[in-house]
């Protein structure tokens, strides 16, 4: 077994450990999309690790797994918005609209480029290049939404349950690491970088292992919200004003 195959197996094991931990703690029902993402990551990496890279089976497996993964990732982002913004429905609705518009715009641009250059490929590139362009454009569009979510969580003192916070930050980190790997692969001569892939797998193994370790059985939110800094109260007041404004816009 090559070192890359071994890392894929370890990656699958770490994701499976996080999924098993969620199942053990009874989180799979509340965080369904996140659990499906962990399960898909574990199964897909375990299966692909057994297939030779040069085979047609690997090629068709890749074409099936990647769009499915992007779809599940979009479902996870939607779920995270719902879980983290339960108390602010106006902001949640606006954030979901932003997610849909961003992904749609990314796909529309990539489809336009595909339509313009389809048919033998530009500069000797095969049509597979443009299929990958659509998939990666969707992922990069989603990456912008994930960054916005992480900035939102880090800026406002939301007092979220621990496990929701843990899943939000770890999923965001995993997604952005994978998106960075896709970006490097996209600008590489053969749409693939072995060094970036190996580094990504190592980082992902650490992240999934940490994800499993950080989940806890009890995640109750304090009954009385306490502010460590006076500015935190002001931030929540601003958040409430923004929520009311966006709620009014959404009803128009």
Cβ contact 110:133 at 8 Å: yes
| Distance (Å, whole) CA 153 – CA 231 | 15
Domain ranges, residue 204:
3-251
| Distance (Å, whole) CA 61 – CA 48 | 8
Query: pLDDT band at 226, cuts 50/70/90?
Result: low
Domain count, the chain: 1
| Mean pLDDT computed over every residue of the chain | 83
**pLDDT value for 23:** 95
Q: Which CATH number is 94's domain given?
A: 1.20.1070
**pLDDT value for 236:** 75
| Distance (Å, whole) CA 11 – CA 21 | 15
- Side-chain-side CA neighbours of 141 within 13 Å: the count stands at 22
Q: Summarize pLDDT for 58-94 with one digit per residue, the tens.
A: 888 888 888 899 889 999 999 999 998 888 888 888 8
pLDDT greater than 90 at residue 244: no
């Amino acid at each position: 077994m090559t070192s890359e195959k071994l890392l894929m197996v370890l990656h699958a094991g770490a994701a499976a450990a996080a999924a098993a931990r969620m199942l053990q703690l009874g989180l799979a029902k509340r965080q369904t999309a996140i659990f499906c993402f962990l399960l898909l990551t574990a199964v897909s990496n375990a299966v692909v690790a057994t297939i030779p890279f040069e085979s047609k089976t690997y090629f068709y497996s890749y074409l099936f797994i990647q769009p499915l993964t992007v779809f599940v990732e979009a479902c996870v982002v939607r779920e995270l918005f719902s879980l983290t913004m339960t108390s602010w429905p106006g902001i949640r609705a606006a954030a979901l609209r932003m997610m849909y518009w961003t992904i749609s715009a990314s796909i529309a641009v990539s489809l336009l480029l595909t339509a313009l250059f389809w048919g033998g490929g530009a500069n000797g590139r095969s049509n597979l290049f443009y299929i990958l362009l659509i998939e990666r454009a969707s992922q990069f569009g989603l990456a912008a939404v994930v960054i916005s979510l992480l900035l939102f969580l880090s800026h406002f003192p939301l007092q979220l349950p621990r496990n929701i916070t843990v899943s939000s930050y770890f999923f965001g980190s995993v997604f952005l690491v994978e998106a960075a790997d896709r970006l490097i692969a996209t600008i590489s001569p053969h749409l693939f970088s072995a060094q970036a892939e190996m580094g990504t797998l190592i980082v992902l193994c650490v992240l999934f292992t940490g994800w499993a370790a950080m989940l806890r059985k009890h995640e109750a939110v304090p009954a009385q919200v306490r502010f460590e800094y006076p500015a935190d109260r002001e931030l929540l007041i601003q958040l409430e004003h923004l929520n009311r404004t966006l709620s009014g816009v959404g009803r128009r």
